[in-house]
């Protein structure tokens, strides 16, 4: 498993000229090489540049790396194109055979499920950064320092296939079109379903996905395609969405626009599902296969929640909004370099979960377990840099064993959410609790 990580870096950094900004950069021999810079940003521990540099040098046991100052690091990194980290991440996914028919990866009825979504990322609140991300204040209001982030993630396996950090005012749909272009060599379109929320009601997006022979499910806004929906009386029905001129005008891709100008409508399927809270939602899809019934679509749309869980891991476990520079290029480097870290974690998590539950079943234990996420990430941050910098068989074997032993020893049991809420305390119980706390000298705050 470790060699996937090492080889993904080795295979990409050899194309130095492709990822260097400016002429005559990184052409001289140095003990802190271009590969060292890239590796450092892939596996820094997120404390400070100086502390991380010291750890990076200290973690190297078997070869000599020239010490480098924080100032030199800050200068040299401005010559590194951030896209190198995205290419390393894609190479890692290829090496783990993600883009093949691999039984290790979870599927739904033979399909990979992908969630497309955006998020606001906080960025350093400096004038230069604000200017680079197009954040302009008004005389009465200072806009928050945030940027748009758009991504496509695997909902069943947790991987992030692509992410783009955009300007403050950048629309979500153009970013999503670019996400789709960036992942086309990582997926099998005919076996892929893209699931979107209401913010992605757009004919051009449907056309884009159909044009690559893939599938989508999108949650509709209440007023979307009212004319076409007017005659729909069933919960599962075919629908023709007209390709009107005003809708075609919103196409930005000239090839797609030309292709669909000669078509009168899109033949799609519309479904009404009832959520657990009783509310009804409308889904639009190009999946016409009747083996997919309303129950399936409800389950598929609910799986989209996985992208929110992934964002939580990126932001709170991997601190993707913790930046080591004050320029747009350094922010992009920090964000894109964490894709590799995140996907390494996902691969190890999936592998360890299989290992843990197979061992439990052999012992006759039926409950399912999962590796402690925070613990796994902490150990990967600690052990991976050592193995990357010292790739001898002895060190790799030693730290791989330490990682497996540490992360499979005390897994967490998968807890089912309670089906019924707890009953509220009675008034007498609240009064008794209040009197008990007052006797102990505790302050008791009554919340309205």
Last residue of a domain, one of 315, 341, 356: 315
Give mean pLDDT, residues 188-198.
Answer: 96
* Residue 421 pLDDT grade (very low, low, confident, very high; cuts 50, 70, 90): very low
Same domain, residue pair 330 and 311: no
In a domain, 339, yes or no: yes
- Residue 65 has what pLDDT? 77
> Is 393 found in the same domain as 343?
yes
Residue 255, pLDDT above cutoff 60: yes
Domain span at residue 127 reads 107-315
- Name 389's Cβ contacts closer than 8 Å, sequence gap at least 6: 39, 56, 59, 60, 61, 62, 63, 65
Residue 249 belongs to some domain of the structure: yes
- Distance in angstroms (rounded) separating the CA atoms of residues 149 and 67: 35
Q: Please, what is the average pLDDT of the chain?
A: 89
Q: Do residues 311 and 330 share a domain? A: no
Q: Is pLDDT above 60 for 387?
A: yes
Give 89-98 pLDDT, tens digit per residue. 999 999 999 9
Which has the higher per-residue pLDDT, 33 or 448? 33
Q: Is residue 386 one of the residues assigned to a domain?
A: yes
- Tell me the Cα Rg of the chain: 25
- What angle (nearest 5°) sits at the alpha carbon of residue 159, between those of residues 287 and 175? 70
Give the three-class secondary structure for 325: coil
Q: Specify whether 45 is located in the same domain as 150.
A: no
Last residue of a domain, one of 278, 295, 315: 315
Kindly write down the DSSP assignment for every residue of 63-119, as one continuous string.
S------HHHHHHHGGGB-THHHHHHHHHHHHHTTTTS--TTS--BTTBEEEEEEEE
Per DSSP, 445 falls in state: P
Q: Which of 277, 245, 236 is nearest to 264 (CA)?
A: 245
Please list, in sequence order, all residues whose beta carbon lies within 8 angstroms of the beta carbon of residue 282, skipping any fewer than 6 positions away. 219, 220, 229, 270, 271, 272, 273
What is the distance between the alpha carbons of residues 196 and 374, in angstroms, rounded to a whole number? 28
Same domain for 335 and 284: no
Residues 44 and 384: beta-carbon distance below 8 Å: no
My answer on whether 339 and 302 are in the same domain is no
Residues 21, 393: Cα–Cα separation, whole Å? 35
Residue 143 forms part of a structural domain? yes
193: β partners: 113, 215
In what helix (H) or strand (E) does residue 267 lie, and over which residues does it extend? strand 265-274
| 214 SS3 class | coil
- Residue 78's pLDDT is what? 95
Do residues 289 and 249 share a domain? yes
Distance (Å, whole) CA 72 – CA 89? 26
Judge if 303 and 332 occupy the same domain. Answer: no
Question: Does 188 map to a domain?
Answer: yes
Same domain flag for 338 and 306 = no
Domain membership of residue 436 (yes or no) is: no
Same domain, 146 and 265: yes
In a domain, 91, yes or no: no
- Same-domain status, 340 and 228: no
- Whether residue 156 sits in one domain with residue 301: yes
Asked whether 83 and 67 are in contact (CB, 8 A), the reply is no
* CATH number, residue 152: 3.90.350.10
The reply to whether 13 falls in a domain is yes
Q: What is the pLDDT of residues 25-74, one digit of tens each?
A: 887 777 788 999 999 999 998 888 899 999 998 998 877 777 888 898 99
Split into its structural domains, the chain has a count of 2
Q: Are 294 and 235 in contact (CB under 8 A)?
A: yes
Residue that wins the pLDDT comparison between 223 and 427: 223
Measure Cα distances from 5 to 34, 92, 242, 340, 389 in Å.
Answer: 17, 6, 48, 9, 12
The residue out of 249, 283, 315 marking a domain boundary is 315
Q: Quickly list DSSP for 298-316.
A: HHHHHHTTHHHHHHHIIII
Of 249-263, 373-387, 428-442, the least confident: 428-442
What integer pLDDT is reported at residue 237 of this predicted model? 96
């Amino acid at each position: 498993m470790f060699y996937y990580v090492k080889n993904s870096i080795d295979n990409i950094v050899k194309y130095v000229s492709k990822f260097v900004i400016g002429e005559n950069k990184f052409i001289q021999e140095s003990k802190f090489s271009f590969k060292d810079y890239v590796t450092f940003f892939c596996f820094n521990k997120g404390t400070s540049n100086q502390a991380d540099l010291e750890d990076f040098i200290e973690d190297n046991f078997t070869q000599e790396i020239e010490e480098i100052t924080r100032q030199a690091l800050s200068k040299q990194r401005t010559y590194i194109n951030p896209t190198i980290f995205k290419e390393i991440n894609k190479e890692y996914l290829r090496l783990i055979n993600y883009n093949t028919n691999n039984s290790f990866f979870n599927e739904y009825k033979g399909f990979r499920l992908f969630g497309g979504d955006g998020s606001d990322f906080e960025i350093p609140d400096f004038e230069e950064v604000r200017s680079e991300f197009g954040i302009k204040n008004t005389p009465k209001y200072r806009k928050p320092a945030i940027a748009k982030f758009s991504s496509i993630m695997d909902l069943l396996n947790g991987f992030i296939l692509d992410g783009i950090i955009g300007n403050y005012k950048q629309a979500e749909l153009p970013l999503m079109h670019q996400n789709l272009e960036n992942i086309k060599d990582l997926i099998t379109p005919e076996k892929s379903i893209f699931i979107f929320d209401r913010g992605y009601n757009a004919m051009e997006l449907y056309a884009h996905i159909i044009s690559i022979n893939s599938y989508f499910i999108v949650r509709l806004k209440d007023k979307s395609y009212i004319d076409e929906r007017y005659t729909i009386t069933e919960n599962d029905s075919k629908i023709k969405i007209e390709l009107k001129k005003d809708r075609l005008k919103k196409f930005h891709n000239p090839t797609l626009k030309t292709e669909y100008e000669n078509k009168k409508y899109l033949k799609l399927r519309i479904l009404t599902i009832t959520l657990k809270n009783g509310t009804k939602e409308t889904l639009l899809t190009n999946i016409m296969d009747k083996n997919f019934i309303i129950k399936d679509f409800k389950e598929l749309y609910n799986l989209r929640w996985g992208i929110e869980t992934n964002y939580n891991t990126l932001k709170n476990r991997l601190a993707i909004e913790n930046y080591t520079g004050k320029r747009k290029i350094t922010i992009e480097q920090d964000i894109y370099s964490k894709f590799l870290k995140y996907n390494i974690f996902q691969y190890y998590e999936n592998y360890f979960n299989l290992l843990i539950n197979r061992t439990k079943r052999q012992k006759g234990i039926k409950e399912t377990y999962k590796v402690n996420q925070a613990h796994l990430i902490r150990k990967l941050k600690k052990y991976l840099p050592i193995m990357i910098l010292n790739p001898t068989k002895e060190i790799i074997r030693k730290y791989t064993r330490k990682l497996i032993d540490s992360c499979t020893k005390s897994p967490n049991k998968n807890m089912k959410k309670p089906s019924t809420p707890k009953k509220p305390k009675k008034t007498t119980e609240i009064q008794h609790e209040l009197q008990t706390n007052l006797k102990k000298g505790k302050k008791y705050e009554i919340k309205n």
